[in-house]
Structure 1
Amino acid sequence: MTQLTNDTRALVPVFNEYGEAETLVYQPDGVHRLKGSPIHLLESACLYYGSSIQGRIEAARHVLGPHRKTPVVMDWHADAVFFPTIAKESPDCAWINFQHVTGIKKFGNGTRIQFLTGESIQVPVSDHTVQRQKQRSIELSYAFQKRFHSSTLHHV
């Protein structure tokens, strides 16, 4: 299996000829088609890095407030923050690593997301939604990086 890392750009849902969920994983060495939904692959990656996706979502909501479509910090260094394009429960939900996004443009009935590599993907949501999700991911990444790199510990 291809390991998700901070270099992973996007997890895009597709379905095989039997209607089973698969994911296009945009990696530095190309696009890989893996079995399982994006949320399943992200859950596995979160567990690999030490927590469940639900734990990551709860932590993010603690920082950002109780929002829907909460971004997920895949690893605790806050190097890889993925945001969902729509509700995470939807089989059509793609997950985007905000650090690789260079452009967001309205395209037809959806949005084209441009990556640092020059690649782009299309998602069936508004450009405003993608911009807002990217901004929330930036805020989350900054908040966690600030905490992790702080020289003082916060005690409750």
Structure 2
Amino acid sequence: MQTDHKSVYIITEHTKAILASRSAYYRATVLEGKHEIHSIYTPEMILDHSCILYGSTLSGRRKAIREYYGITSKIPFMIDAKKAIYMLPTSSTRRKDCAWLSFYQIDFYEQRDNRCYVQFLDGTGIYIPSSANTVDMQHKRTSQIIARLNRPSMYNTYYAAQSAKSGGSIM
């Protein structure tokens, strides 16, 4: 498969993960289907570009999650709700080994020695330098966000009012 190094990768429903690259030239490796796509753009640049194409920005998505749900670190967020694309970080986004996983591509994850093995729906898998507990917490956070974003609007209005009254987060 040829890679177009001039254009920024666009996250789709087939994207499984975005990993920081250890290469001197490439800055990210994208796992899509059975392919690895190497990019000269950082994972955050890829995420931001995809958010923009789907109608927002990375900082806008983060701000919405931070303000509405009270999550301040390792913020999972939506890329595109219509295509059900949600990405979750496996560690602080400031760390070079942070992997971004696509929520609906994950089949299971488990601790293996000092790393977490993540298997995707197509049977492929990767090892990431995070614990299974951390991935589990991120997976649960993302599922809570998805459930709340997909609530009928009457429940969202009620929840927003309750959150404003309490002055706290709802997670």
Residue in structure 2 matched with residue 53 of structure 1 by the alignment: 58
Say yes or no: does 1:112 pair with 2:122.
no
Q: Which residues of structure 2 form unaligned runs of 5+?
A: 1-6, 162-171
Residue in structure 1 matched with residue 165 of structure 2 by the alignment: none
Are the structure 2 counterparts of residues 61 and 153 from structure 1 closer, same or farther at C-alpha, using a change threshold of 3 Å?
A: closer
Residue in structure 2 matched with residue 8 of structure 1 by the alignment: 15
TM-score where L is the length of structure 1 = 0.86
Letter in 1 for 2:88: F
Aligned pair count reads: 152
- Retained in 2: the 8 A contact 1:9–1:115? yes
Are the structure 2 counterparts of residues 90 and 146 from structure 1 closer, same or farther at C-alpha, using a change threshold of 3 Å?
A: same
Letter in 1 for 2:130: V
Cα offset, 1:15, TM superposition = 2.5
RMSD: 2.3
Distance 1:139 1:96 in 2: 16
Cα offset, 1:134, TM superposition = 0.5
Distance 1:71 1:78 in 2: 16
Residue in structure 1 matched with residue 90 of structure 2 by the alignment: 85
Give the number of the structure whose alpha-carbon radius of gyration is greater: 2
- Retained in 2: the 8 A contact 1:63–1:140? no
Judge which range, 75-84 or 5-14, deviates more. Answer: 75-84
Residue in structure 2 matched with residue 30 of structure 1 by the alignment: 35
Q: Which residues of structure 1 form unaligned runs of 5+?
A: none
Distance 1:15 1:60 in 2: 30
Cα offset, 1:106, TM superposition = 0.5
Cα offset, 1:27, TM superposition = 1.3
Distance 1:144 1:50 in 2: 16
